[in-house]
Amino acid sequence: MDKAIRRYLKDEHLIQLFCRYATYNGSNPYAAPGTLNVIPHLEFGLGAFMPDGGVYAIPKALYQLGLDLGVQYHFGQKVDEILVEKNLVNGIRIGTEKTLSNTVITNADIWPSFRELMPLVKAPEKTLAQERSSSAFIFYWAMDAEFPELDVHNIFFTTDYPAEFAALFERNELGQDPSIYIHISSKVCKEHAPTGKENWFVMVNAPQHIGQDWTVIRKVLRDKIIIKLGARLGKDIGPLILDEAVLTPQDIERKTSSYRGSLYGTSSNNRFAAFLRHPNFSRSIKGLYFCGGSVHPGGGIPLVMSSAKIVSDLITSS
């Protein structure tokens, strides 16, 4: 991506901005193919939109649509096994209870789908061995102030972008000066924060979880973010944080079944990555389907939604 961008742009700040789009699927702009420059083309050339009520409006709408169609939800129940007999899917098991079906869709990451839910089934080893995408370290802050100089989307870049990605993908650690992304939905959804206050989603790109001590990293990273933002905004933001929640790569793995906390399954750090993603169906197990960010067509909300649509079409046409 970086080389392709430099064919058209000369200003280093502008180049860095366009390289940022590699992170939209958890990749390294200095390794990912230039084809991914279709992402900024889509955003700048065609335009992107924010759902009324924020991104959370999407799962709320899907949930309501499911209710309207008669879907029965079973929350708080962890699936322990996808049942397979003689290359045919046979349902799922939760504890000792089995629910039989000749069609099963898993939207868990492809890695735990095979390793944890179907441990006796032959797994696609080459697919599971692919390089993982980056993860994220996120602070959710309730801010006791409004910042008119900030918008819905804000990025405070590092001064050494190559070093940041080398740390993420070569050493599996955070860079010394990580870029900071802040999303403030209350800028357009006033109901998301009380008058005079703001809701900050503060994110830095993080490496995959391979056993790092995120408790120690949290303290160091939090201090760095507060110092950096304070210097850029000309205000000590630490005392303005009224409440805080944190999401680490380890939390992401635990809460979403995303192997190693990778946000997008495999990375796109080679030109063949798009072709090596697992398909939305099993070639060896009839009735088994896959959707989500770790399979075709890729990670990120639009592609994840597309994968679900593909699976729906596959099932209804079979």
- Give yes or no: residues 293 and 213 share one domain: no
- Give yes or no: residues 254 and 138 share one domain: yes
Which residue range forms the structural domain that includes residue 259?
134-263
What are 188-227's pLDDT values in tens digits?
Answer: 999 999 999 999 999 999 999 999 999 999 999 999 999 9
- Give yes or no: residues 140 and 81 share one domain: no
Q: Does the CA dihedral 245-250-253-255 come out positive or negative?
A: negative
What are 89-119's pLDDT values in tens digits?
Answer: 999 999 999 999 999 999 999 999 999 999 9
Q: How far apart are CA 30 and CA 5, in angstroms?
A: 11
Amino acid at 88: L
| Residue 204 within any structural domain of the chain | yes
| Residue 10 within any structural domain of the chain | no
Residue with tokens 């079973």: 74
- Give yes or no: residues 182 and 159 share one domain: yes
- The whole-number pLDDT of residue 25 equals 86
- The whole-number pLDDT of residue 275 equals 80
Answer whether 0.85 is exceeded by the pTM. yes
**Segment among 54-68, 249-263, 267-281 with least mean pLDDT:** 267-281
- Give yes or no: residues 183 and 294 share one domain: no
Looking at the predicted structure, is the pLDDT value of residue 274 above 80?
no
Number of domains in the chain: 2
- The whole-number pLDDT of residue 271 equals 82
CA dihedral 74, 75, 80, 86 (to 10 degrees): 30
- The whole-number pLDDT of residue 246 equals 98
| Residue 20 within any structural domain of the chain | no
- Give yes or no: residues 291 and 245 share one domain: no
Segment 40-65 shows an average pLDDT of 91
| Residue 3 within any structural domain of the chain | no
Q: Does the CA dihedral 52-53-57-60 come out positive or negative?
A: negative
Q: Does the CA dihedral 289-295-300-306 come out positive or negative?
A: negative
What are 140-198's pLDDT values in tens digits?
Answer: 999 999 999 999 999 999 999 999 999 999 999 999 999 999 999 999 999 999 999 99
Q: Domain holding 91: CATH number?
A: 3.50.50.60
- Give yes or no: residues 257 and 170 share one domain: yes
What are 288-297's pLDDT values in tens digits?
Answer: 999 999 999 9
| Residue 27 within any structural domain of the chain | no
| Residue 114 within any structural domain of the chain | yes
Residue 114 and residue 132 in contact, taking contact as beta carbons nearer than 8 Å:
no
